[in-house]
Structure 1
Amino acid sequence: MKIMSYIPYPLREVKNILTMSGIVNQLIQYYIFKVNKPLIVTWSLTHRCNLDCHYCGFPHLEHKELSRENLLGLLDTLSEQGLKVISITGGEPLISPHFKEFVLRARQKGILLNLNSNGLMVPANIDFIKKHFYQVTISLDGPPEVNDPIRGEKSSQKALAAITLLKKHRISHHVTCVITKSSAYNIENIVSYSKEIKTPFSYQLVFDKTLATFSSHEETLLPVDILKCLDDLMALKIQSPKTIQNPYKYFEVLKAQVLSSKKVDCRAGEIFLRVEPNGDIRKCSRVTEVIPYKQVMEQKFSHSFFKLRSFPQCHNCTVQGSLKLGLKSA
């Protein structure tokens, strides 16, 4: 398995099939035998970032991070529990001094990796990324006049440079566009821009003021804004289906959630969790309750993971729209 984990993408279909068979096996165990294991993890290596987007509070959070030894030790622990997929995120994960060593250790264990990045450091790391990641997710919130006031001057230009380079190297990539109060009524312009640069976007809406890392509640969409955005996206999806990556059904699911007061039925804390830079684990970024790293390591990990299930559920979760459709969340 270690040899196979060094086969460069995209020529490692055999390894991917073996890994996916492990995922399917664990899903069967979960749904039939109710065996809870951390199958998919969003791992934030750092809260630090070289951008300061209005809707994101990560750069303003505490910058305490695990040491190299503790970081790799926690990775080993999760791998032993059956971890199959890690979505590496931040902040900007490429800033982490342990980024490459973390990636290499995960790959040695046959774990599939997705990279979430703002794109600024992608060009300098393109060869490493091509070798070790099955997909890269780049954040871009629209054309410069929409994106840059939210994410920073020339950030759209730099993200586009990264996307162009990913295309050149034939690296599978995915573009996410966050819709906030500032951009909610520019949907048509944003979709036109994605068509102009020949890159389909996947759309995420800032739903909730209770996000654990939220810095600016002014960017939160009100229900009336959300419904308007969803109606616009659904209409544009019909007009140009390949320009918008989200399935039409995805928007229907989100719209139903906005109009409902029911709690979201979620798999977070059952087959999914989030790891913070300091090693704390949480159900997901929307849930404020955490299990501290010290407690995770002192107790049996499975005990801490099981405890996540007792934490609160959310309303109007955009990730849940993907899960209900059997899609990989962004």
Structure 2
Amino acid sequence: MRLAPTRKNIRFYQRRMRQARMVARALQSKHHPVLAHIIPMRRCNLSCAYCNEYDKVSAPVSTQEMLRRIDLLARLGTQIITISGGEPLLHPDLDEILRAIRSHDIIATIITNGYLLTPERIERLNKAGLEHLQISIDNVNPDDVSKKSLKVLDKKLEWLKEHGDFDININSVLGGGIAHPEDALTITRRALDLGFETTVGVIHDHGGQLQPLRGEERRVYDQILSERRPGLFAFAYDNLFHKNLTMGQPNEWQCGAGSRYLYICEDGLVHYCSQQRGYPAIPLEKYTVEDIDREYSTKKPCAPFCTVSCVHRVAMLDMIRNDPRDSLFRLFPPLTPGGPPSYPPIVRALSSIFLPEPNGKPPGLARRLTTGMAMRAFGLKRTDKSPLRDNL
């Protein structure tokens, strides 16, 4: 007997379709932000020693002002809005802010330390339309560097497993003074046991710059990669960015901060990212498509050793957009030297639908019909160029 789909399953597939449309639209046009981080609350209930993104005194941004900023981001065509801080769960009207994001059909996510989560609070996040939540856990037991520990948060994780209707990612960290690097492996294993997505990050300095991994940290990182089951995007990110960062090597890439990625501080100014506040520092209401297009190709001197993964991940979409075949080969390299690229099935399928033939041969009727149906499903419009490119 076929069981009726659950609310959680229905929302899971709805999220995947919205995410697919987001990726397809990001690949078709470069003239809008893919992701914006917006800060409703600089204050935090913790004081992690390595963090420079909080204070203990700031009042929350007014709800009316937050709704106005969300409207402005929607007009710019923003596809994902992440609420972070400080600690966003301290904002008294976070649910209303999330509902406002979803009212524009924008993907709504939050980054939280998790301390304030309860079953009732998680249910409210469900009702508000939250689609993704990330918690970064720094150690197994709290210490002088960080209180974001598995010991304190494990019950919160169990509540998320039981009650959450949204995607959940647990991020473990290495480097930057973390006393017990082996804790990152314990945290990853616990997150996998609960069925959550997992990532591992390299802690940056106060300029967002690289602090390379050493001996035991490197061994733990390699063990995590061998055990975890990364999502498609995380797997590609590991291949393109993270492996170099863990070895202290620079990455060659074009940073899209200020264009495809925006960071809006509590004062309503647009910055490159949380680690480069002050550039360009333009009020959101004055930010235009011309600013987006200018910053798309502006060289950022901090880029080679940057560890801000959100900006990296957005840039991956533009790499595919600008040079799809070469970028996909770099993101999913051959398993053996000289072998074929290791494309996952979904990448192979989308490549066969959207990418032009490598020999320049015009697609046949069946291919054109399949591409047309796929574009309609993703809400895209044809242009006179490849479906992955827009009219520049």
Both structures adopt the same fold (TM-score exceeding 0.5): yes
* 1:97 partnered with 2:56: no
Shift of 1:231: 4.3
* Aligned amino acid, residue 130 of structure 1: N
CA drift of 1:50 comes to 0.8
Aligned to 1:63, which of 58, 67, 83?
58
Structure with the bigger RCO (C-alpha within 8 Å, sep 6+) is 1
Three-state SS of the structure 2 residue aligned to 1:36 is coil
Greater gyration radius: 2
1:90 CA displacement: 0.9
Distance 2:244 2:48 in 1: 29
Give the alignment of 1:89-128 within 5 angstroms.
89-123=84-118, 124-128=120-124
Q: CA shift at 1:322, angstroms?
A: 4.4
- In 1, the alpha carbon distance for the partners of 2:61 and 2:32 equals 23
Letter in 2 for 1:302: V
In 2, distance between residues paired with 1:125 and 1:170? 10
Indicate how the Cα distance of structure 1 residues 101 and 248 shifts in structure 2: closer, same or farther if over 3 A, else same. Answer: closer
Determine if the alignment matches structure 1 residue 276 to structure 2 residue 265.
Answer: yes
Q: Is the 8 A contact 1:50 1:92 kept in 2?
A: yes
Take 2:229 and 2:41, find their aligned partners in 1: how far apart are those partners? Answer: 34
Indicate the larger mover: 44-53 or 242-251. Answer: 242-251
1:64 shift after superposition: 6.5
Q: Look up the SS of the partner of 1:114 in the other structure.
A: strand
Cα RMSD of the aligned pairs, angstroms, is 3.5
Aligned-partner Cα distance in 2 for 1:9–1:19:
15
- Runs ≥4 residues deviating over 6 A: none
Aligned to 1:181: 176
Give the 3-state SS of the residue equivalent to 2:41 in structure 1: coil
> Is 1:28 paired with 2:27?
yes
Question: In 2 relative to 1, CA 62–29 (structure 1 residues): closer, same or farther, beyond 3 Å?
Answer: farther
**Structure 1 segment 244-259 matched on structure 2, within 5 A:** 247=235, 250=238, 253-257=241-245, 258-259=247-248
Q: 1:140 to 1:39 in 2, by over 3 A?
A: same
Whether 1:163 and 2:157 are equivalent positions in the alignment is yes
User: In the alignment, what sits opposite 1:289?
Assistant: 278
Bigger shift: 19-28 or 46-55? Answer: 19-28
C-alpha deviation, 1:178, in angstroms: 2.6
Gaps of 5+ in 1: 1-7, 212-219
What's the counterpart of residue 225 of structure 2?
237
User: Could you tell me whether the CA contact under 8 Å between 1:230 and 1:255 is conserved in 2?
Assistant: no
Once the two structures are TM-superposed, the CA of residue 307 in structure 1 deviates from its matched residue by: 4.7
- Cα contact 1:191–1:244 (8 A) shared by 2: no
How far residue 112 of structure 1 moved from its aligned partner, in angstroms, is 1.4
- Percent of counterpart pairs with the same letter? 19
The answer on 1:312 being equivalent to 2:308 is: no
Contact 1:49 1:91 (C-alpha < 8 Å) held by counterparts: yes
Return the alpha-carbon distance in structure 2 between the equivalents of residues 78 and 286 of structure 1: 21
User: Is 1:54 aligned to 2:43, yes or no?
Assistant: no
Shift of 1:41: 1.2
Structure 1 residues 169 and 141, CA, compared in 2 at 3 Å: closer, same or farther? same
Partner amino acid, structure 2, of 1:285: S
Q: Which amino acid aligns with 1:129?
A: L
Distance 2:254 2:177 in 1: 30
Deviations 1:296-317 (A, max 9, x none): 32x3532443454436242323
Residues paired across the two proteins, number: 300
Residue 136 of structure 1: CA displacement? 1.4
1:130 aligns with 2:118: no
The equivalent residue for 1:214 is none
What runs of 5+ residues in structure 2 fail to find an aligned partner? Answer: 1-6, 317-330, 333-392
Shift of residue 208, structure 1, vs aligned partner:
3.5
How far the C-alpha of 1:19 sits from its partner, in A, is 3.2
Q: How far, CA to CA, are the matches of 1:155 and 1:256 in structure 2?
A: 27
C-alpha distance in 2, partners of 1:227/1:206? 16
From the superposition, tell whether residues 306 and 230 of structure 1 become closer, same or farther in structure 2 (CA, over 3 Å).
farther
Within a 5 Å distance, the mapping from 1:187-266 to structure 2 comes to 187-195=181-189, 198-199=193-194, 201-211=198-208, 222-223=211-212, 225-226=213-214, 229-238=217-226, 240-242=227-229, 247=235, 250=238, 253-257=241-245, 258-261=247-250, 264-266=253-255
Deviations 1:195-248, CA, capped at 9 Å, x for gaps: 35735642111133423xxxxxxxx8743x35753443114433x344999549
CA distance in 1, matches of 2:70, 2:269: 13
Counterpart of 2:238 in structure 1: which amino acid?
Y
SS state at 2:256 partner: coil
Query: In structure 2, do the counterparts of structure 1 residues 102 and 291 end up closer, same or farther at CA, with 3 Å as the change threshold?
Result: farther
Amino acid at match of 1:159: L
| Aligned AA (2:146) | R
Specify the alignment match of 1:301 in structure 2.
Answer: 288
Q: Measure how far apart 1:259 and its partner are.
A: 4.6
- Is the Cα contact below 8 Å between 1:46 and 1:90 reproduced in 2? yes
